[in-house]
Amino acid sequence: MIDSEDAAKAWLATVPGVDSTVLARLECLVSLLADENERQNLVSHDSLGHIWQRHVADSMQLLSHVPRETPLPWLDLGTGAGFPGLVIAATRPGQRVILTESRSRRADWLRRAVQSLDLSNVEVIGQRLETLDQLSVSVISARAFAPLDRLLKLAARFSTGDTYWVLPKGRSAREELDGLIGWAHNFEVVQSVTDPSAGIVIGTLAGVRTREKGRSA
């Protein structure tokens, strides 16, 4: 379990694909975030003291649940402060990453961060998810975006039977999955490596609603 800033940084250095260039980008992201947080509340002030554990490593762990090569874009819903989307993009420069953020000030900051981090693989879409054009993606992530059932209603149209969903849900992961009704899915809950009380909902979705309760792995 990653339980400190030092432990988070040590763990990050062991992640496949994380080299000196990636670490430098992550350092830059942390600096940019701390500076911008003085102007708009991107993350809680208290969490800034644990940013590597609670935000960077917490985002990075999602990569262990997704194949290294995914041909279609990674779609990150409600990216906000850049987590997990910017961490994913910085670590996988060959992966196209689409960040959605409906709040204009945050979307503007994400665009500035993308430019500062020199991430040519990122597109920021500053609009509500309901108005986003149809597209198919390889991965869908969302961190503190919406309850699981509502999230699926909003984003299932972007998913194929092969799309991986990686959804950090905190302490509510098991409860939200157990309460999911009407979806044909292969979801399960895995333990977060940054918080002993937190879970991540991962798996695939058939893409259609059924009348019976979806299987909760």
pLDDT tens for the 217 residues of the chain, in order: 999 999 999 999 999 999 999 999 999 999 999 999 999 999 998 889 999 999 999 999 999 999 887 889 999 999 999 999 999 999 999 999 999 999 999 999 999 999 999 999 999 999 999 999 999 999 999 998 999 999 999 999 999 999 999 999 999 999 999 999 999 999 999 999 999 999 999 999 985 565 444 444 3
Scan for tokens 């003085």, then name that residue. Answer: 38
Contact assessment for residue 91 and residue 122, using Cβ atoms and an 8 Å cutoff: no
Question: What integer pLDDT is reported at residue 210 of this predicted model?
Answer: 52
Question: What integer pLDDT is reported at residue 57 of this predicted model?
Answer: 98
Sheet holding 164-170, edge to edge: 122-125, 97-100, 74-77, 139-142, 164-170, 199-203, 188-191
Contact assessment for residue 17 and residue 91, using Cβ atoms and an 8 Å cutoff: yes
Question: What integer pLDDT is reported at residue 24 of this predicted model?
Answer: 96
Q: C-alpha dihedral over 195, 90, 116, 48, to 10 degrees?
A: 10
Q: Which residues contact 97 (CB under 8 A, 6 or more apart)?
A: 73, 74, 76, 85, 88, 89, 119, 121, 122, 123
Q: C-alpha dihedral over 28, 85, 177, 169, to 10 degrees?
A: 20
